[in-house]
Amino acid sequence: MRAYQFCDAPVRRGFCRMTDPARLILSDLAAEFAETPWFARLGEKPTDADRRSAADYCAKLGFRRTVQVWLHDLGAAEGVLQRGDEMPEWQRAERDAAAALTRAAASALGETAANEAVNRAMLTASDAAMLAARRLFPAQGRSDEALMRVAAGAAARTAGEYALVLLGGADPASHAFVAKQRLFAAGRWPLVTVEDQFALL
């Protein structure tokens, strides 16, 4: 992964005068998201790498005892999502992690520039993921546009979190959100955590 050099103080538009790290990060993310095989392996047997990424994400978020539950198809995923009973502790941990990164990114780049960069990263990922969902979901018997939008929205949210790690200058090797992005990059869909069980597809 590329190392990004931030200058000491943001200029008027929020970007560094010469290195312009936010634009560089966005360029790299756009290329990465264009090559990501969004949802390409949904329902397949998880590899050891898939399991390690999921365990890494859980542990770095503070949930080492979480059990991975790998679902077999989009129908099962839809059923889990419709329950709407995600662990509040998990949601709080993600919000707290994102808030800390948001403050760091705003400090490094300026609030306006950081927010714009995150929004652009999310839009880029959402567009790519939605195209993939429209192509792949019907093959699994799911042509519902609403489910595709939920999947693309999850990809976009994770992309925004991933962008915050880079924009905030955090260590990618040690952050939960990078491990979460690796799951999407492997063609999977991390869903929700319910009662210490992490559902993935």
Q: Extract the tokens encoding 34.
A: 């264009």
Which of 63, 84, 73 has its CA nearest to residue 194? 84
Kindly list the domain boundaries of the chain, sorted by start residue.
Answer: 21-200
Mean pLDDT for 115-128 is 95
Q: With 90 as the cut, is the pLDDT of residue 118 above it?
A: yes
HEC profile for 142-197?
A: CCCHHHHHHHHHHHHHHHHHHHHHHHCCCCHHHCHHHHHHHHHHCCCCEEEEECCE
Give the chain's mean pLDDT: 89
Render pLDDT for 33-65 as a digit per residue (tens, 0 to 9).
Answer: 999 999 999 999 999 999 999 999 999 999 999
Q: Give the lowest-confidence range in 13-17, 41-45, 73-77.
A: 13-17
Q: With 50 as the cut, is the pLDDT of residue 14 above it?
A: no
Q: Give the pLDDT band of residue 70 (cuts 50, 70, 90).
A: very high
